Structure 1
Amino acid sequence: MEERSRLCSVWLGSETGILKGVSLARRQAFNFCNSSHLSRDQEVRVLAWADPGQSELLLGSVDGSVKTFSVEKGVFTDARRCGDAQEGCFTGLGALPGGALLTCVERGAVRVWREESAEPVSELSAGTSVCRMRPSPVHEQRVATGGKENGLKVWDLDRPGVPVFSAKNLRDDWLDLRRPHWVRDLAFVPDSDKVVTCTGHHQVHVFDPASPRRRPVLEAEFGEHPLTALALTAPGGGGGGVMVVVGNTRGEVAVLDLRTGRVCGALKGLAGGVRALVCHDSAPLVASCGLDRVLRLHSLQDRTLQHQVYLKSRLNCLLMDRRPLLGGGGGAGEEEEGEVKEEDEDEEVWGDMEQVEEEGRRKRKPVPLENIW
């Protein structure tokens, strides 16, 4: 497994608008950007593959532009306007068959774009305050959306008027008070129509569109802080069935069993809010990034830290590439002075440090009562 982790590479989008590529085989990090046009408007919010062969990347920026990056050439090949900053940032991005582009913004506009058209060919409204949109890997024309006070909905792009599935409100709590919605991230279960969501109220829900109840068929909780990201393991990749990896605003990451909802273990080492989690498609590995500016790669078998890279910028999103990144992707990538560490090296450094014992505090003599008066 360690050898397979070194063969893969990771692509990350940062707040500074830089696309970062990390080669685990060469222990190097590269920056891909036009430094003369960097600004806050170029912040990368979402990443997606443009084709099944993973030869091109799609980058969604805060200013509403979508850029195409060639992994083989290591250069940006195209850029187009697919939104407006007044509509909010991108919350989802994807590629459809035939070269079509799929986008979603915070105000709920889900649009399909064609290369030959400057205007979207179709559009649907998923409601306000959408936090995440993801396309289905099984049904090419289906997408799922969810957000703050905007429950999970599954849409058919061919029939955009009414959602195929709309989650029902959660049951009231034991005080008969309404339980609020806040879907922060979601994913389709592999080889299934089920959808997993994580919420801003530290909940994990599994929805089955085939269920007549329309409420979660599984409810679980983790921690006490809002969950911000999730990732599903490949079947059998986490050890016995599909598992879900969730992270929260405090940097806590855990692995949950979707069959029972029980926590199977925690991943250590994170020091800031988690913004993205991605599992390897065939190996038991999960990559994470967030506010602490560090990319980490953990093993799902023994939950040990395999790699970590400090990348100087706050990181918003990431993708894992099954191929190695050699020579900056074959293009004009500028090598970053990022530090790639191994867990064993960290343990060795801490092990060599001399242990310092703190001296006990001096005990103060009690003051006689007559001195107080």
Structure 2
Amino acid sequence: MMWATLNDTKVLIVARQNGSIQFLSPENGTVLKEFKNKHVGLEKEQGRFVGVSIHNNHLCVCTSTGDLSYTPLDVDDVNETQSIAELGPDLEIMRAHPVKTNIFGIGGKERDLTLFDLDVLMKQKEEETTTAAETDMNPAGPHQNTSAHKKKNTKAKGMIFQAKNIQNDFLDLRQPVWIHDFQFVDKDATKIAVVTHYHQFRLYDTKKGRRPCINAEIGKNPLRALCLGTDLNHVVYSDTASTVGMIDIRTGKKAALFKGFTGSVTDVITVPQPTLDNDDKKGHSSEPVMVSVSLDRFLREHETTTVYRRMLNKAYLKQRLTCVLVDEEYEYPVPKVKTAEEEELEEEEAMWESMEVVKDRKRKHRS
């Protein structure tokens, strides 16, 4: 789920389990546009959506089976998204960089962090399409030379970074990999914070190497969600046992702990979010808050300015929500306070409107 702009109108993109991606109006919830993805559904061989992004007025969607699609938003007669790449199975998350939208990363079960350039993938797809068309027009047909050693290897095209697993443990056993979520924490897309199923927090710096700069264990439960904190030096995480905390990415240690949860938190977000296009900007508000939804059907709001991290608001939503999104540009209409003269004038108008209109009757003259 994410915000986007469609025909100069702000819309909400929702990816559903039945394979449809809907563009909804945030005002009344009407469906403005809808796309279908044949790789997502309830069948066994089908997967689920793991990431949605917008780049160059195109909708980029990735599924858990590794299908990456790229669909133009200005086309109304598209009923099904078209695949441009196969990234491999068992994916858990796909996320694009907020500023450099052409760069995105993937991760999952035994799928370590990998970054791609979407523009290179699109160029590769166009070249393959052109090559296939030229092959069909070749007079040699099926008798043309298809030797394997003459083919160019294009498997690594578009990949700009692939993480390397940490060193083996003290028994010389390989460490398992299972990424649940990650976030870009700088404007150059070189620093990435990752949380794993094995309660690990990792920070990668693509300029320094393929292995993580920081690898710390947080608690004893799988880490589920991750978001940017109140500034670019902190991230907020949640696990599967109703624990929500803040981590300092410079040290990999806990910086705060939020209380008051009775169910596993499925998604967290700080409001306002720090912007990546200016590292000196540590937020837009003097009092940032943390908003979360959990399996106990509650939406909670915590303050982040004091060491107590008190809960400010709590609302029961009747459903087990999996994602929370905040519109920072929306302004709640404040009701106008009426003066005594305005109230008196309204009462007088109401009194006159409540009176019945008497019809004129002609008087009968005596003869």
TM-score, with structure 1 as normaliser: 0.69
From 254, 277, 292, the counterpart of 1:263: 254
Match of 1:10 in 2: none
Taking the aligned partners of 1:233 and 1:159, their CA distance within structure 2 comes to 31
Q: CA deviation at 1:74?
A: 4.1
- Let me know the Cα RMSD of the aligned residues: 2.0
Q: Which residues of structure 2 form unaligned runs of 5+?
A: 122-154, 274-283, 334-367
Task: Tell whether the 8 Å contact from 2:248 to 2:255 is kept in structure 1 after alignment.
Answer: yes
From 284, 290, 305, the counterpart of 1:301: 305
Q: CA deviation at 1:294?
A: 0.8
Match of 1:51 in 2: 5
Higher RCO, 1 vs 2 (CA within 8 Å, ≥6 residues apart): 1
Task: Tell whether the 8 Å contact from 2:193 to 2:203 is kept in structure 1 after alignment.
Answer: yes
Other structure's SS at 1:321 match: coil
Q: CA deviation at 1:202?
A: 0.4
From 60, 67, 71, the counterpart of 1:109: 67
Q: CA deviation at 1:118?
A: 4.1
Taking the aligned partners of 2:262 and 2:161, their CA distance within structure 1 comes to 37
From 146, 156, 173, the counterpart of 2:117: 156
Match of 2:237 in 1: 246
Structure 1 residues 80 and 119 mapped into 2: Cα distance closer, same or farther (>3 Å)? closer
From 211, 215, 240, the counterpart of 2:211: 215
Deviations 1:184-221 (A, max 9, x none): 0011113242111100000111111222x301011122
Correspondence 1:94 to 2:53: yes
Q: CA deviation at 1:174?
A: 1.8
Greater C-alpha Rg? 2
Taking the aligned partners of 1:175 and 1:289, their CA distance within structure 2 comes to 40
Correspondence 1:290 to 2:279: no
Match of 1:145 in 2: 106
Correspondence 1:318 to 2:324: yes
Structure 1 residues 64 and 121 mapped into 2: Cα distance closer, same or farther (>3 Å)? closer
From 48, 52, 68, the counterpart of 2:23: 68
TM-score, with structure 2 as normaliser: 0.70
Structure 1 residues 175 and 301 mapped into 2: Cα distance closer, same or farther (>3 Å)? farther
Q: CA deviation at 1:97?
A: 2.4
Deviations 1:264-322 (A, max 9, x none): 11100111112111121234222111211111111222211121111111111111111
Other structure's SS at 1:159 match: helix
Q: Which residues of structure 1 form unaligned runs of 5+?
A: 1-46, 236-240, 328-373
Identity %: 32
Taking the aligned partners of 1:137 and 1:261, their CA distance within structure 2 comes to 23
User: Where in structure 2 are the equivalents of 1:13-32 lying within 5 Å?
Assistant: none
| Equivalent residues, number | 274
Taking the aligned partners of 1:153 and 1:299, their CA distance within structure 2 comes to 34
